[in-house]
Amino acid sequence: MKSSYNILEAPMLTEKGTALKEADNKVMFKVAKDANKIEIKKAVEEIFKVKVDSVATMNCKGKKKRLGRFEGRRPDWKKAIVTLKKGEKLDFIEGVQK
């Protein structure tokens, strides 16, 4: 069985993610490529102690990069957009409250 900390790799703190958070109470995570929506939902609920309404996932292809005549490729990865239930929020994104 996979650990919750192995499923969620990192939060995605981007401009688009911040806009989603403020408008629709959605949070973006970089997740393991083999994780499914049910595992992602359980991992978020277990780690952050919040209630999750739904999960949307998408596979992102790695870009081709070159350095001079050498060509390489960045790895493929998976992104999850987690919708929290009404009244729920994640504290690590809110920042320090004064």
CATH among 3.40.190.10, 3.40.50.300, 3.40.80.10, 3.30.70.330 for 4-86: 3.30.70.330
The conformation of residue 72, written as its DSSP 8-state character, comes to E
Percentage, residues of the chain above pLDDT 90: 78
Model confidence pLDDT, tens digit, residues 71-92: 999 999 999 999 999 988 886 6
Work out the mean pLDDT of the chain and round it to a whole number.
Answer: 90
Model confidence pLDDT, tens digit, residues 39-83: 999 999 999 999 999 999 999 999 999 999 999 999 999 999 999
Question: Per-domain residue ranges for the chain?
Answer: 4-86
> Residues 38-47: contacts with CB within 8 Å, 24+ apart?
39/2, 39/7, 40/7, 40/8, 40/80, 40/82, 41/82, 42/4, 43/4, 43/5, 43/7, 43/8, 44/8, 44/82, 46/4, 47/4, 47/5, 47/8
Q: How many residues make up the chain in this entry? A: 98
Model confidence pLDDT, tens digit, residues 13-35: 899 988 998 899 999 999 999 99
Instruction: Say what the pTM is.
Output: 0.85
